[in-house]
Structures are given as C-alpha cells and as structure tokens.
Amino acid sequence: EDQVTQSPEALRLQEGESSSLNCSYTVSGLRGLFWYRQDPGKGPEFLFTLYSAGEEKEKERLKATLTKKESFLHITAPKPEDSATYLCAPTAGGTSYGKLTFGQGTILTVHP
Amino acid sequence: DTEVTQTPKHLVMGMTNKKSLKCEQHMGHRAMYWYKQKAKKPPELMFVYSYEKLSINESVPSRFSPECPNSSLLNLHLHALQPEDSALYLCASRGTPYGYTFGSGTRLTVV
C-alpha cells in the first residue's frame, strides 16, 4: 500500500533561518512527486514536480530534491509570507494512475 | 486561462436539501478530480473523471453524485448530506506540463 509521511508536522522559523521539510514515500511505480503550498481556506498551489531520483528544482527561496525514498523541500532565508502548509504528493502508475496521495503536510510558520 | 474556477465559494445546506457544486477549467485538461478536505487534514480523493468518463470512485457514499457534462465542466450533486460532510471541497484538473491545478474550493457547511 502506498504511504507518504511528512516531517516535521509543524516548523517554526525566524525570518532568515533556513531549514528543510521531509517527505518519505513508499510508492510502487512512481510517476512523479508533487509539492504544493496551501494557505488556510484555499486550494493547494502548485510548486514543483519531480520525476526521477537526483532531480532538483528551484523557485525563489525554495528548492526541491528527490531520492528513491524521499523528497526534501529546502527553504533558504524564509520570509513571513512563506508561512503555509506544505504538502507533498507522489503519484504512481498502474491502477493508481492519476491519483495524488497527499502526505499530512508540514505547517510552516515564519516569524519576523 | 490557467485557472480552475469553483462555485459557489461558500454553501450552507440543510440535511434534506439538494445542491450542486460546479467546477470549470479551460486549459484543455481531460482529467478532472473532486477532493474533500477536512480541517487540518490533507485533501482526500473522491472521484476522477478521464475524458468525461468516471474512472475512479473512492467508495464515496451515494449522497455524493458526480457529473461531467463536457471536457470543461465538472459538477458534484449533493443530496441528504450529514453534518460530518461539512468540509472544503476541491476540484482539480490534470495536464502537462503543470501537473494538477486546484481550484480555491467550496466551503460546505451542513446544518
């Protein structure tokens, strides 16, 4: 059975204090791993798609990396506006094709 | 147009009411999804439509009835809901290269 575990559940940072979020997954036939940001009461906002181990993608203060068992979202010099819930979601092939299975999310709070 | 539009944004309904949620996209995506999200939980998949045909139903109760009239439109018909069905209902569509695009959701309250 596919499993996705995100850690930590919550993370409090001071503005400028860099850190990383973890997404561990067990998925047969991984087709891609997605990272989303979600603000309270809003729909998830797409950040990155990673397709193969070793792949890295960057966007402003965020950098996502992928290995065969986990993905990291690195946040460099965060700002208060980076506060949100960050969700990872691997997607597989076969009968699970097209399904996103979300992790529980990491609630990030960045204090000024 | 790179958005998924959901209406209404908020809905309050009684347990005997019938209502519908609407989702629209004009990105040419041929896969569309309904997700349910409870407070402080991740989105949970309900239904998947692929090329206007229902391809995945995650054992959702029959009081939720999806419909895909055309490639741009997805509806979720609601009937005889329970208070525990109160949640944020999210619509998404899938296409390359942007992956899955989510709407802002409909906040549903069942009283």
CB B32 within 8 A of CB B91: yes
Six-digit token pair at A53?
Answer: 């181990």
Give the three-state DSSP class for A28. coil
Q: CA-to-CA distance for B63 and B58, rounded, in angstroms?
A: 14
User: Looking at the predicted structure, is the pLDDT value of residue B98 above 60?
Assistant: no
A98 contacts in B (CB within 8 Å)?
31, 48, 50, 55-56, 94
Cβ contact B100–A105 (<8 Å): no
User: Tell me, what's the pLDDT at A82?
Assistant: 98
Give the pLDDT band (50/70/90) at residue A12: very high
> Looking at chain A, which residue has its C-alpha nearest residue B32?
A98
pLDDT at A100 over 90: no
pLDDT-wise least confident of A15-24, B29-38, B59-68, B98-107:
B98-107
Mean pLDDT of the residues in chain A: 93
